[in-house]
Amino acid sequence: MKIIKKIVIKQIITENSKQTLKNNFNNHKIRLEQECQQLLFEKKKLQNKSATSKQNVAQRFQQEINKRKEKIKLADFKIEQLDMLEMGSEIVEKEVEALVDVSVGSNWKEIMTEGAIIIKDDIVIRID
């Protein structure tokens, strides 16, 4: 029988991986800022055009803009944290699911122990 088990993917920080992560955070931040600008534009457009309550329109758009501004702050925080990381540090990148064989006589504790795949510059260097 096969079961699904979560496996943690960890990345060892190198100059290349640090720069890649930083670029990803900056690109995400830029995309969020563009969305804020687009929402402001749409808000003005609807307020001038719409017969609906201008107060409701402004409030809904402001909520969406605020959500994105919070995500921008989070991206800034992640960039700050990334700058503080030392080379060789391990960070959790994500979790994936893996199929694991289970049969009669299998050691359940061994099967359910936390597994991890360690990556350095997109190359698997260790499986724990």
Q: What CA–CA distance (Å, rounded) separates 44 from 50?
A: 10
| The total number of residues written for the chain in this structure | 128
Strand partners, 6: 97
H helices present in the chain, as ranges: 15-49, 54-84, 108-112
Average pLDDT of the chain, as a whole number: 89
Residue whose C-alpha is closest to residue 21's, from 81, 95, 68: 81
Report the pLDDT value the prediction gives residue 11, as an integer from 0 to 100.
93
Strands 90-101 and 115-120: unpaired
When divided into structural domains, the chain yields a total of 1
Residue 55 lies in domain: 2-127
Residue 106 above 70 pLDDT?
yes
Least confident of 2-6, 41-45, 65-69, 80-84: 41-45
pLDDT tens figures, 14-50: 999 999 999 999 999 999 999 999 999 888 887 777 6
